[in-house]
Amino acid sequence: MQWETVIGLEVHSQLSTQTKIFSGASTAFGAAPNSQACQVDIALPGVLPVLNKGAVERAIKFGLAIGAKLNRTNIFDRKNYFYPDLPKGYQISQFTLPIVEAGELTVQVGEGGKAVEKTVRITRAHLEEDAGKSLHEDFHGEDGRPLSGIDLNRAGTPLLEIVSEPDMRSAKEAVAYAKALHTLVAWIGICDGNMQEGSFRVDANVSVRPMGQAEYGTRREIKNLNSFKFLEQAINYEARWQIEQIEDGHTIQQATVLFDPDSGETRVMRTKEDAHDYRYFPDPDLLPVKLDEDWIEQVRATLPELPQQKQARYRDDLGLSAYDANTLTSSRAMADYFESVVAGLMQPDAKLAANWIMGDLSATLNREGLDVAASRISARQLAGLLARIQDGTLSGKLAKQVFEAMWAGEGEADAIIEARGLKQVSDSGALSAIIDEVLAANAKSVEEFRSGKEKAFNALVGQVMKASKGRANPAQVNELLKRKLGAG
């Protein structure tokens, strides 16, 4: 039987506010345990939450970026359950009336000519507070007995939970969507996207059904995937496992599972039977959040041009391929770099800039494990180099040498060209002399060419380039050589 995998994602994106969503404590990562937990965060008797407007603004920004409906009145609810890392005994979240509803994100699945577009509907995005952390390992009491510790630094950190419809049909699609979302939240500046620090965590709801069946199968939720690689592995494993179960005559039980990267398997954390009744109700300590049009417009004004808008512009106005446009918008830093390079050229040539950024620059960045934002060659410097290609000072080959020197910190293109004597020889007198010498020394090739062997011409060009130590202007060499051989 042919099976179809159905996937929906829930992404917890940590919002990049300086302070927590309901208190003034810092959200900075990595501080000593409980050093960033104020009396509100530890839920002393009598304390009350006060909503951080910065978190709301970031949610508005996200809603605008995915063309969603912003609920002009939205409400915070309490999700009640007991756990030591949940100080109040409830999490403040949005349940019935989230701030963002019904948006969508169009993503590119696959690469090059095989790439297809896929639109994933986003059901909702709501604001909530993170819980603290339980420390089970390496934690001991004074008598050496193993104990569990609680670190409440993370308690109250603002999260935007972004819930998709079950629109994805393969791990590849899910990864493409998760990556696009990851790019977007960093792009619009609402999340630092640091997956190691837990700033972007993905839960995947996975089910399978016979191809062509309309109803969904029973889903299992894979919790807390913190890398795209694990997301892909976990979904592939889970889908295979579910198909095997069904084919062996078992039924799938709704469950929450964890992915173990070491074994590459998922295992059950809890089943539907021990699911909580969270007893949601509106938090009486917080007023309904009202979004007025002025506020929304103020936020809209801070929204940068979005990846999709840029891609369209790169294709339609700059004439780049869809693949180039996608690659150059993989991050805002990349797009900014590209646009700065193009803007730095007297004669704008987007294709030339794209080729260099996606070619030599990306290769070098990858080799060094650097992000474009940390590139050792600035966009201005690269533009300086490209300008020398455009005006014929540098051949492609010389340009690569300049690029490497630039990366090594030898300065601007012109300075390197000067210092290394890399300037292309375009003086016809000098070139003519070199060519005459080459023709004299390669009578055999000249003969071959004259007898109709086109290949011999290339060999002569090569000899001229060699004699000029690569500095001869290739176009000029071609032209002069043809003239001298009487072929022009």
Partner 1 sequence: MTDTIKSLSALLAAGKISSVELCQDTLGRIERLNPTLNAFITVAADKTLAEAAAADARRAAGSVGNPAGPLIGVPIAHKDIFCAEGWLTTCGSKMLSNFVSPYDAHVIEQFKAAGMPTLGKTNMDEFAMGSSNETSFYGPVKNPWDTTRVPGGSSGGSAAAVAARIAPAATGTDTGGSIRQPAALCGITGLKPTYGVVSRYGMIAFASSLDQAGPMARTAEDCALLLNVMAGFDARDSTSLEREKEDYTRDLSRPLAGLKIGLPREFFSEGLSGETARAVEQAIDALKKLGAQAVAVALPNSRLSVAAYYVLAPAEASSNLSRFDGVRYGYRTPEYGDLTEMYEKTRAEGFGPEVKRRIMIGAYVLSHGYYDAYYLQAQKLRRLIAQDFVEAFKQCDVILGPTAPTTAFKLNEKTADPVEMYLSDIYTIAVNLAGLPGLSLPCGFDAQGLPIGLQLIGDYFAEARMLNVAHQYQLASDWHTRAPTL
**Exposed e or buried b per residue across 72-94, where buried means at least 16 C-beta atoms within 10 angstroms of its C-beta:** eebbbbbbbeeeebbbbebbbbb
- Cβ-based neighbours of 316, under 8 Å, separated by 6 or more: none
Q: Are 394 and 402 in contact (CB under 8 A)?
A: yes
With respect to partner 1, which residue has the nearer C-beta, 48 or 443?
48
> Is residue 47 at the binding interface for partner 1, with CB under 8 A as the rule?
yes
Judged by CB, which is closer to partner 1: 152, or 235? 152
Contact flag: residue 80 with partner 1 (CB under 8 A)? yes
219 binds partner 1 (CB under 8 A): no
Nearer to partner 1, 20 or 118 (CB): 20
Beta carbon nearer to partner 1, 76 or 228: 76
The token pair that represents 272 in the structure block: 């539907």
Closest by alpha carbon to 366, among 412, 396, 327, 398? 327
Q: Which is nearer to partner 1, 240 or 276 (CB)?
A: 276
Using DSSP's 3-state secondary structure scheme, residue 124 falls into: strand
- For 56, residues 6+ apart whose C-beta sits below 8 A from its C-beta are 99, 127, 289, 291
Alpha helices in 50-104 (DSSP H): 53-65
- 81 or 240: whose CB is closer to partner 1? 81
The reply on whether position 147 binds partner 1 by CB under 8 A is no
Contacts 24+ apart (CB under 8 A), 374-381: 375/337, 376/406, 376/407, 376/409, 377/403, 377/406, 377/407, 379/336, 379/337, 379/338, 379/340, 379/341, 379/344, 380/340, 380/344, 381/406, 381/412, 381/413
Beta bridge partner(s), residue 265: 260
Residue with smaller CB distance to partner 1, 84 or 462? 84
140 vs 122: CA distance, rounded Å: 44
Residues 6 or more apart whose Cβ sits within 8 Å of residue 29: 194, 197
Stretch of 66-74, 83-91, 328-336, 358-366 contacting partner 1, by CB under 8 A:
83-91
Q: What is the DSSP letter of 49?
A: -
Options 9, 21, 42, 99; binder of partner 1; rule CB under 8 A? 42
- The region of 41-49, 307-315, 322-330, 379-387 touching partner 1 under the rule CB under 8 A is 41-49
CB of 47 to partner 1, least distance (A): 7
The smaller minimum CB distance to partner 1, of residues 45 and 396, is found at: 45
CB of 134 to partner 1, least distance (A): 10
Among 277, 292, 293, 454, binds partner 1 (CB under 8 A): 277
Part of the chain binding partner 1 (CB under 8 A), chosen from 6-14, 64-72, 264-272, 280-288: 280-288
User: According to the binding rule CB under 8 A, does residue 48 interact with partner 1?
Assistant: yes
Is 216 a binding residue for partner 1 by CB under 8 A? The answer is: no
The single-letter DSSP state of residue 449 is H
Residue with smaller CB distance to partner 1, 149 or 474: 149
Q: In angstroms, what CA-CA distances link 268 with 242, 245, 255, 422?
A: 13, 14, 7, 65
Q: Which of 18, 28, 35, 50 binds partner 1 (CB under 8 A)?
A: 50
Q: What mask, x for binding partner 1 by CB under 8 A, covers residues 150 to 179?
A: x-----------------------------
CA 172 to CA 268: how far, in whole Å? 24
Residues binding partner 1: number (CB under 8 A): 28
For position 84 contacting partner 1 by CB under 8 A, the verdict is yes
Contacting positions for partner 1 (CB under 8 A)? 39, 42-51, 78, 80, 82, 84, 87-90, 150, 277, 279-281, 284-287
